[in-house]
Amino acid sequence: METGAAVPREASLIVNTHSRKGRRMFREAKALLAAAGVELIHAIAVRNPADLNAEVGALISSGAKMVIVGGGDGSVSGSVDSFIGKDCVFALLPLGTANSFARTLGIPLDLPGAVDVIANGRRARIDLGAINNDYFANVAAIGLPSLVGSTIPDGLKRVLGRLGYIVWGLWSVLRFRPFEVILTYKDGRSQRFRALELRIANGSYLGGTEVAEEAEVDSGEIIVQIVTGNGWPALAWHWLTTSLKLPARRRTAETIRGRFIRIETVPSLPISIDGEVTARTPVDASVARAVLELVVPR
């Protein structure tokens, strides 16, 4: 949803140097942004991810016209709340492991390409998903992704990147069990499913793989996608067919659209929200229409 306004030529940069690429990319990002004609009013390296949200909020409160956030999907998800209702443009440097939100938006994953989008892109307004009124940018997941996200060793993720998630996922599948899902809609109707995985999607990518092709960040709807089956072989088949974009992938998942859906599971399970495990079922999932203004490719 294009706004028509020009992208600001001055900005504040904040980089999560705990992210996989953040530490070594901070200086290069400053140089590339300056060379592209983006004047940096502030440039902050945050070593403790827990401080990122407060620092972003402080920059917005100081009157920044645009804040460039460098980090992974967790950094994005944690910081977007600060932009809601504020006259400040969000811009992204994808410096994480999977960079799913950048993939959803079509932002290049290399630093020069991402900087080019900030310097020469356009402003747009997009939707955000919400879990119990806590905003997120891309995809929340229940099942194997939350198990992997809550247990993967930080060193494995840092050294191997996306491959580390795959290796740990193969190990974690041995402890994985199916679960029951109850969805309740705004009109009071409910449905039950036996699930292997559940995704709450505002965007289309999870772990760097396109899993919810139907999801669009300006649709005004949230997508709930349920992977069905009886055990880990069915889940492995779903991921294989999804990764290869085989027609069979459409027979392995149920897709529900809506603006509000209550989600319960038996047993209660953790939820990975943009790669960070920060909630637990039951939850209310909803969409916040056109609440984030950001820079996207032309």
The pLDDT tens digits of the residues spanning 59-78 come to 999 999 999 999 989 889 88
What is the CATH number that goes with domain 10-127?
A: 3.40.50.10330
162 pLDDT higher than 90: no
How far is 242 from 236, CA to CA, in rounded Å? 10
pLDDT at 278: 87
pLDDT at 100: 93
Q: In the structure, what pLDDT confidence band is assigned to residue 25 with cuts at 50, 70 and 90?
A: confident
Lowest mean pLDDT among 45-49, 153-157, 222-226: 153-157
More confident residue, 136 or 21: 136
How far is 189 from 252, CA to CA, in rounded Å? 23
CATH 3.40.50.10330: which residues of the chain?
10-127
Per residue in 9-19, pLDDT tens? 999 999 988 76
pLDDT at 250: 87
Tell me how crowded residue 269 is: count the other CB atoms within 10 A of its CB: 21
- Whether 224 contacts 260, CB under 8 Å: no
- Whether 251 contacts 94, CB under 8 Å: no
163 pLDDT higher than 70: no
150 pLDDT higher than 80: no
pLDDT at 79: 93
Per residue in 82-105, pLDDT tens? 999 999 999 999 998 889 999 999
164 pLDDT higher than 80: no
User: What's the token pair of residue 175?
Assistant: 């402890």
CATH 2.60.200.40: which residues of the chain?
134-288
Q: Around 74, how many Cα atoms within 13 Å sit in the side-chain half-sphere?
A: 20
pLDDT at 158: 62
294 pLDDT higher than 80: yes
pLDDT at 232: 80
More confident residue, 279 or 20: 279
Q: Which of 105, 128, 77 is nearest to 204 (CA)?
A: 105
188 pLDDT higher than 80: yes
Domain 134-288 in CATH 2.60.200.40: yes
More confident residue, 230 or 223: 223
Mean pLDDT over all residues of the chain?
A: 89
